[in-house]
Amino acid sequence: MVQPERDQTRVNERIRVREVRVIGADGEQLGVMPPEAALDIAREDGLDLVEVAANSRPPVCRIMDYGKFKYEQKKKGANKKTQSASLKEVKLRPGTDQHDLNFKLGNARKFLMAGDKVKVTVMFRGREMVHTYRGREQLNAVIEQLGPIAKVESSPRMEGRFMSMILVADREAVAEAKRAEEAEEVAEGKSEEATGEATTEAAATETPDAGEEAKPSS
């Protein structure tokens, strides 16, 4: 079983060096001192001594609330992941032909494989509003086609003259699809290499020996 990654940051008693350069809670320079003395200062304010630059000579430590610091770092990481998944949009019409639909599905698949969300929208005009069921049929077809790598985050619904839904990537399925594509590329590369070698061997077999060409006919 894979063990969770252990926090490697040295804090408080885990800082075992002769001396450290200390930065106070407000960013002030407190100078160089033994870590025990720095820890005493930190504990007077109910804070921690945290090593922030282990490779410096001497190592640099800062007085802070380490629990709060870790929480803020985790929060920033979560926000960064959320922001990296942008929302792309694919627009359809009730009368979109199969060729155009396949092209747009290809784009939607690329977006999902990149980890983006995809908003699929069917736009209605004039009397097309009487046949909104066609839009739902199209969206259901999209779900069926992209289902292996996507999940429905927001089900199809009408908003004025638009019917839309939002798909998100199924991370495990996307990872599996990428592995399958890589394996296929490797297999194709080996196949082309084998074909090239076979062609070279065939050409060498068909080429007459220079000595044989030089023999006079009897």
Question: In the prediction, which pLDDT does 7 show?
Answer: 64
Residue type at 85 in one-letter notation: A
Give me the DSSP letters along 7-51: P---BGGG--SS-EEEE-TTS-EEEEE-HHHHHHHHHHTT-EEEE
Question: In the prediction, which pLDDT does 93 show?
Answer: 93
Question: In the prediction, which pLDDT does 177 show?
Answer: 83
CA distance 36 to 13: 8
The average confidence (pLDDT) of the chain is 83
Question: In the prediction, which pLDDT does 198 show?
Answer: 58
The CATH number, out of the four listed (3.90.25.10, 3.40.50.1820, 3.30.110.10, 3.40.50.150), of the domain defined by the range 84-172: 3.30.110.10
Question: In the prediction, which pLDDT does 71 show?
Answer: 83
Residue type at 160 in one-letter notation: G
β-partners of residue 22 are 31, 61
User: Which of these, 57, 218, 88, 77, lies nearest to 164 by C-alpha position?
Assistant: 88
190 exposure class (CB count in 10 Å sphere: 0-12, 13-18, 19+): exposed
Question: In the prediction, which pLDDT does 3 show?
Answer: 38
Question: In the prediction, which pLDDT does 2 show?
Answer: 34
Residue type at 170 in one-letter notation: D
User: Which of these, 10, 9, 8, 12, lies nearest to 47 by C-alpha position?
Assistant: 12
Domain locations along the chain:
12-66, 84-172
Residue type at 198 in one-letter notation: A
Rg (CA), the chain: 32
Question: In the prediction, which pLDDT does 145 show?
Answer: 92
Task: Note the pLDDT tens digit of each residue in 100-132.
Answer: 999 999 999 999 999 899 999 999 998 899 989
CA distance 46 to 142: 57
Question: In the prediction, which pLDDT does 218 show?
Answer: 47
User: Under CATH, what is the fold of the domain 12-66?
Assistant: Ubiquitin-like (UB roll) (3.10.20)
Question: In the prediction, which pLDDT does 206 show?
Answer: 58
One digit per residue, the tens of pLDDT, for the chain of length 218 reads 333 345 678 999 999 999 999 999 988 999 999 999 999 999 999 999 999 988 889 999 999 999 988 888 777 766 655 555 689 999 999 888 889 999 999 999 999 999 899 999 999 998 899 989 999 999 999 999 998 999 999 999 999 999 999 999 998 888 888 887 777 776 666 556 555 565 556 555 555 555 555 555 54
User: How far is C-alpha 17 from the geometric centre of its chain's CA atoms?
Assistant: 39
